[in-house]
Amino acid sequence: MAEELEFDPAVMEGYYSNDFEIDFSWMKKPTQHQFRWRTIENRWYSSTRRIRDGNTLSKALGKSTPTDVYVSTSSWLNPVELPRLHDTDAPYPILLDHLVVFDIDVPPFSQKNMEVARKYAVKMLDWMKEKTDYAFSHVTFSGSKGFHLFYHDLQREKFQIPDPRQREETVRESRKELLEQAVTDGHHIDTRITADTRRIIRLPGTVHGKTGWICSIISLEQLHQPFSKWKDTLLRHPQSRDMPKKASAKKSLFSRKKKPVEVKSEQLTSIEVSTHVPGTKNRSALLEWLPRNWGEPQNAVDKALQLCQKYHLGSTAFWTDGERTLMLVPRAIPRESLSKIAKKNGFTNLAHELKQRDHAWIRITAQLAESSGWDSDLIPINVLAHDTNNACKWPWSLAHIELSSRMGLEIKKDEKDGSGTEEPSMRIVRRE
């Protein structure tokens, strides 16, 4: 059971209070990057000062106890007062540069899966050698389940666009194009990272709050050798979690007990949204968790994109909790048509609810348990299948366009009219 023990973030208290060495040389100008961290109270903070080295970072952290420290993949004229993407009141920030980062993870945490991730990373490196517009910077061990590959963009024209909003959008579209090429060519990468100019990535030299291993820059020579040969050279917190050799299937904590143990059910609280398009009589959006047998998020998204192509569903948003994937097609689809699509493609819950109640309530957040707190956060992946917009015959659901925006994924409407009202139907529920 040793491999199931989690790293206790409480031991991080005081860890960053003294001078600590972090290599900032891979950033052209650290003072142009935003630094953020999460504390043991699960609160997020952004640095209120410019960071140039470990000493200034330590001062910025102050008395807080961070479990995880991150840095922006973009550099900004003013990273300290960086407004949110949807903040229309503040002046639009000026993007100066954006690193191309590929995140390769193979969960769960194990030596066997790290070797798989290493092979994925080597294939990605070989693929990027053909992309002469990008220069390799470095690769890091994430501190948990994989690697981060960093590249500099040698095409500088887009960073000279006078309008800051257009500049950032042009960079984002360029990254999306590169990302789609990589996914199409079969590379195993996290689709949330590369194309997002507002993304943060774990800072090399800092501790991973779930494992206690240190996110570390490694050499290409190491990456091209089996993980087992250099695993022991990686830095880790003295009380870090051991990395098991193999990833065992998750088992009940009571699975090894000889006598059956009665486990009391626990209420789980979450937010749910209706598939119904408010302001219409019989239209719903396709909002549902992808079937478990579609596999891990990467495979599930690939299968969902085939569905988008087959039915011309238009721009589709995806989120994941690390195990399952949530799909949203923000179109006002006639109930009968949606029911047929759901029934033919394995969305059994959605098909049943549409038949019984004319709509379905779908969970869109993590679940809160009274004893153990929140489970895995719901994380945006991307908006994909833009190429099917022109052939889509259904209007946009204004409420579900708004829902996607609130959940961190902006979907641009084309010339088709919107349907219904803009406020999505939501409720807070408690289930056992």
Over its length of 432 residues, how does the chain's per-residue pLDDT go in tens digits? Answer: 334 457 888 888 888 876 567 889 999 999 999 999 999 888 889 999 999 988 899 889 988 889 999 999 999 999 998 887 777 788 999 999 999 999 999 988 999 999 999 999 999 999 999 999 999 999 999 999 999 999 999 999 999 999 999 999 999 999 999 998 998 888 989 888 898 999 999 999 999 999 999 999 999 999 999 999 999 999 999 999 999 998 754 433 333 344 443 434 456 788 999 999 999 999 999 999 999 889 888 888 999 999 999 999 999 999 888 778 999 999 999 999 999 999 999 898 898 899 888 999 999 987 776 555 566 678 888 999 999 999 999 999 999 999 999 998 999 886 657 899 999 999 998 876
* 230 CB neighbour count, 10 Å cutoff: 16
Q: Residue 258: its pLDDT value, please?
A: 40
CA distance 329 to 421: 16
From CA 77, how far away is CA 181, in angstroms rounded?
Answer: 30
> What is residue 261's predicted lDDT score, i.e. its pLDDT?
39
The confidence score (pLDDT) of residue 89 equals: 80
Look at the block and give the residue holding tokens 């939501």.
426
Q: Give me the pLDDT at residue 372, please.
A: 53
Q: Are 39 and 64 in contact (CB under 8 A)?
A: yes
- Rounded to an integer, what distance in angstroms lies between the CA atom of residue 34 and that of residue 75? 7
For 174, the 3-state DSSP assignment is helix
What is the largest distance, in Å, between two alpha-carbon atoms of the chain? 70
pLDDT of residue 232: 95
The first and second tokens of residue 201, run together, are: 């990535």
Q: Output the pLDDT for position 370.
A: 59
Task: Pinpoint the residues of the chain covered by CATH 3.90.920.10.
Answer: 2-233
Q: Are 58 and 17 within 8 A, CB to CB?
A: yes
What pLDDT score does 328 carry? Answer: 96
What is the C-alpha to C-alpha distance for residues 408 and 410, in angstroms, rounded to an integer? 7
Cβ atoms 204, 23 nearer than 8 A: yes
* Cα→Cα distances 185→127, 181, 213, Å: 9, 6, 32
| Structure-token pair, residue 206 | 């800092």
Tokens 């491999």 appear where? Answer: 3
Predicted confidence at residue 377, as pLDDT, reads 73
- Model pLDDT, residue 250: 44
CATH for the 2-233 domain, from 3.40.50.10320, 3.60.15.10, 3.20.20.70, 3.90.920.10: 3.90.920.10
**Closest Cα to residue 209, out of 60, 297, 109, 75?**
109
Residues with Cβ within 8 Å of 106's Cβ and at least 6 positions away in sequence, in order, are: 113, 114, 116, 117, 120, 145, 146, 188
Give the HSE-up count for residue 357: Cα atoms under 13 Å, Cβ half-sphere: 10
pTM greater than the 0.75 cutoff: no
For residue 395, give the nearest of 414, 368, 376, 375 by alpha carbon: 414
